[in-house]
C-alpha cells in the first residue's frame, strides 16, 4: 500500500487538515493514527539517540510524547553525525490575527531544533490556502500573514538562519518555486487528491491544486537563494499530525522528481479548554487562550472553561482521586511546565485525590500568565522593519 492510500472507517477518529474529532474524552487515539498513517513512533531508542548525537537533553515536548511520531528521523541524525546539511520547514495558515497557545507548539519545537542542530529554516505562510478555504479576501489573508509573522518571530527564531514567506509574495516572485509546484502538479492526479484530501467534483480547482504549494518547500531547489540551486539538501518538517496528508503526497512524488523525501516530526493536537475531543480553535473563542489575552482573561477562562478530571464533590475527589488523562489543566501543564519533577508531583497528588482541581488551575494560570506575558513583551519589540527582514528572500547563514 502506498503511504497515501489510507482507508478511513466512520467509527474512527477523524483527522485531516480540516477536521480533528474524536469520540473519546481522552482525545484522538494516537497509536492507531500511527498505524493508519504508516509513520513511526518516537520511542525511547530514538530519544536516547537524539540526546547522544546532540549532547543535550531533548525538548520536553519530545520527552513527554507531545511530538510522538516521525518519518525518517534516524536518517536526519545519520546526516548530522556525518556533519552533512539539512534544513527545517514548517508553516502556518494565516486565517486570523488571533493566534492561540496551540499554534505555538510547532514553532516552539522548531525553534529548539534550529538552535540544537544549527540549521536553516523556511516558514511558509499559506495566505493562498486561507483565501481558498475561508471567507476572507486575498488582501485580508495576505495582511494576516504579515501580522502572524510577528507572533512567529517572537518565538525567538534566528534572523540569520530563517526565511519566512507569504505564498502570495513568493509563488509569484520565485521562478524555481513555481516550477516545482508545476512539477508536482503534473505528477498527482485528481483521483489521488480525492483519496488523500477528500476533495470531490464540486471542490474548486484552487483547492485541488493547493497541496502542491504546501509540498514545494520540502525541496531545497524551491529556494535558489538559500541553497544555490542544490536539489538534494534534505528537509525535516515539524508539524501537527493533521498536516501529514500533504507530506505523504510529497513523499510519494519526490523520487519521481529525483528529489529527496522530507523527514517529519509529528505532534499531537492541543486540546480545547472544553476537553480533548476537539482541538483548540480560533473560531471557537471560548475554546482558546489567545496570545493577545490579558492576564485576567487567562485566569477567567481557565477557571470558567478548563474541563476538570476531578470528582463532583470534595469528599468524592479525596476518595477516588482525579483523572489526569482528561483534565485539561494537567494536560496543558504537560505542554508548558518545564519542571519534570514538579509536574510529576502534581500528577501523583491529583491522581491520589490529595490535590483539588482548583490547585491545578492555579498552577496553570501562573505558568500561562508568564508564558503569554513574555510572548507579548517580545512581540511588542518587533517592528514592521524586522518582519520585512525575515521575509526578504536572501542567502541564509549556514555552514555548508
DSSP 262: P
- Minimum distance from residue 218 beta carbon to ligand TRP (Å): 8
How many residues bind ligand TRP, per CB under 6 A?
A: 13
- Residue from 3, 129, 151, 252 touching ligand TRP (CB under 6 A): that is 129
- Residue from 59, 60, 92, 301 touching ligand TRP (CB under 6 A): that is 92
Residue 241 sits at φ, ψ, to 5 deg, of -60, -20
- Minimum distance from residue 208 beta carbon to ligand TRP (Å): 15
CB 83 within 8 A of CB 143: no
Nearer Cβ to ligand TRP, position 91 or 209? 91
- Minimum distance from residue 31 beta carbon to ligand TRP (Å): 22
Contact call for residue 93 and ligand TRP (CB under 6 A): yes
- Minimum distance from residue 129 beta carbon to ligand TRP (Å): 6
CB 306 within 8 A of CB 328: yes
Sheet holding 235-240, edge to edge: 40-41, 67-71, 263-267, 235-240, 87-92, 121-125, 162-166
- Residue from 77, 105, 239, 253 touching ligand TRP (CB under 6 A): that is 239
Contact characters 195-234, ligand TRP, x per CB under 6 A? -------------------x--------------------
- Minimum distance from residue 65 beta carbon to ligand TRP (Å): 19
- Residue from 126, 166, 288, 311 touching ligand TRP (CB under 6 A): that is 126
Contact call for residue 148 and ligand TRP (CB under 6 A): no
Return d(Cα 248, Cα 256) in angstroms, integer.
14
What is the radius of gyration, based on Cα positions, of the chain? 21
Collapse the DSSP code of 19 into the 3-class scheme (helix H, G, I; strand E, B; otherwise coil) and give the result.
coil
Contact characters 8-47, ligand TRP, x per CB under 6 A? ---------x------------------------------
DSSP 39-87: -EE--HHHHHHHHHHHSSPPPHHHHTTSEEEEESHHHHHHHHHTT---E
Q: Which residues pair with 100 in a beta bridge?
A: 290
How many Cβ atoms from other residues are within 10 Å of residue 24's Cβ? 11
Nearer Cβ to ligand TRP, position 282 or 292? 282
Cell numbers at residue 179, please? Answer: 516550477
- Residue from 91, 262, 271, 322 touching ligand TRP (CB under 6 A): that is 91
How many Cβ atoms from other residues are within 10 Å of residue 301's Cβ? 20
Contact call for residue 102 and ligand TRP (CB under 6 A): no
Binding site for ligand TRP (CB under 6 A): 17, 89-93, 124, 126, 129, 214, 237, 239, 243
Amino acid at each position: 500500500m502506498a503511504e497515501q492510500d489510507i482507508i478511513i472507517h466512520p467509527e474512527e477518529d477523524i483527522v485531516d487538515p480540516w477536521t480533528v474529532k474524536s469520540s473519546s474524552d481522552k482525545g484522538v487515539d494516537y497509536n492507531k493514527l500511527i498505524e493508519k498513517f504508516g509513520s513511526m513512533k518516537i520511542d525511547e531508542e530514538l530519544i536516547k539517540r537524539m540526546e547522544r548525537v546532540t549532547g543535550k537533553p531533548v525538548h520536553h515536548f519530545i520527552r513527554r510524547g507531545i511530538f510522538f511520531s516521525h518519518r525518517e528521523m534516524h536518517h536526519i541524525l545519520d546526516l548530522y553525525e556525518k556533519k552533512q546539511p539539512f534544513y527545517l520547514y514548517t508553516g502556518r495558515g494565516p486565517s486570523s490575527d488571533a493566534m492561540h497557545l496551540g499554534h505555538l507548539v510547532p514553532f516552539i519545537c522548531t525553534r529548539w531544533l534550529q538552535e540544537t542542530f544549527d540549521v536553516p529554516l523556511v516558514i511558509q505562510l499559506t495566505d493562498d490556502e486561507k483565501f481558498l478555504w475561508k471567507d476572507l479576501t486575498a488582501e485580508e489573508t495576505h495582511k494576516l500573514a504579515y501580522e502572524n509573522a510577528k507572533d512567529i518571530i517572537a518565538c525567538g527564531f534566528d534572523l540569520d538562519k530563517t526565511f519566512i514567506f507569504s505564498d502570495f509574495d513568493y509563488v509569484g516572485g520565485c521562478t524555481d518555486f513555481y516550477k516545482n509546484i508545476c512539477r508536482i502538479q503534473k505528477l498527482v492526479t485528481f483521483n489521488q487528491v480525492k483519496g488523500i484530501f477528500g476533495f470531490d467534483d464540486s471542490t474548486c480547482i484552487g483547492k485541488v491544486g493547493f497541496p502542491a504549494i504546501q509540498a514545494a518547500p520540502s525541496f531545497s531547489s524551491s529556494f535558489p537563494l538559500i541553497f544555490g540551486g542544490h536539489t538534494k539538501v534534505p528537509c525535516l518538517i515539524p508539524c501537527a499530525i493533521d498536516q501529514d496528508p500533504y507530506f505523504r503526497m510529497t513523499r510519494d512524488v519526490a523520487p519521481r522528481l529525483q528529489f529527496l523525501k522530507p523527514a517529519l516530526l509529528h505532534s499531537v493536537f492541543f486540546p480545547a479548554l472544553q476537553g480533548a475531543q476537539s482541538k483548540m480553535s480560533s473560531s471557537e473563542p471560548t475554546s482558546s487562550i489567545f496570545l493577545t489575552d490579558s492576564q485576567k482573561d487567562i485566569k477567567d477562562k481557565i477557571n470558567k472553561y478548563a474541563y476538570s478530571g476531578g470528582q463532583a464533590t470534595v469528599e468524592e475527589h479525596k476518595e477516588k482521586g482525579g483523572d489526569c488523562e482528561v483534565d485539561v489543566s494537567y494536560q496543558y501543564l504537560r505542554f508548558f511546565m518545564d519542571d519534570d519533577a514538579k509536574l510529576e508531583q502534581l500528577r501523583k497528588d491529583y491522581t491520589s485525590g490529595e490535590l483539588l482541581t482548583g490547585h491545578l488551575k492555579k498552577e496553570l494560570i501562573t505558568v500561562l500568565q508568564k508564558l503569554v506575558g513574555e510572548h507579548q513583551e517580545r512581540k511588542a519589540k518587533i517592528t514592521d522593519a524586522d518582519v520585512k527582514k525575515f521575509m526578504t528572500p536572501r542567502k541564509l547563514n549556514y555552514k555548508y
